[in-house]
Amino acid sequence: MKIDLSQFRQTFLQESADHIASMETSLLQLRSAPQDVELLNSIFRSAHSIKGGAGSFGFTNLAGFTHSLENLLERLRSLEMQASDEVIDALLRSVDVLRGLLDADGDAAMPADGLEVNARIEALMAAEP
């Protein structure tokens, strides 16, 4: 028996918008508390929820982009990397990319700014030991 997920699509999009708003608020708070592991955990959980739902709905670009965020956030919350201003700025830019993908109903092509932010995230992770 195949389950029709389309009935849950709008709920996913709304919940993801809420997660993005929460991520943005927490990232702004992180500027004044860059080693606050609870803030990092909260941001990670939001990204993880978005990625999981995106995967369920087949939103490949949204899931892939959010997976990159998860990788960076995992390194931050395990204290392998510092939440520098540069890292936080990249994460804040990623919030804008996520919003854009959701505004396009989740299954849009990756916009140029998304590719740029993803490359920046990869570069930041490569630069850290």
Residues 33-76: tens digit of each pLDDT: 998 999 999 999 999 999 999 998 889 999 999 999 999 999 99
First to last CA, the chain: 48
Q: Please say whether the beta carbons of 93 and 117 come within 8 A.
A: yes
pLDDT at 9: 86
In the predicted structure, residue 6 carries a pLDDT above the cut 80:
no
Amino acid at the residue 64: G
pLDDT at 128: 64
Query: Mean pLDDT over residues 2-16, rounded?
Result: 82
Handedness of CA 86, 47, 70, 99 (dihedral sign): negative
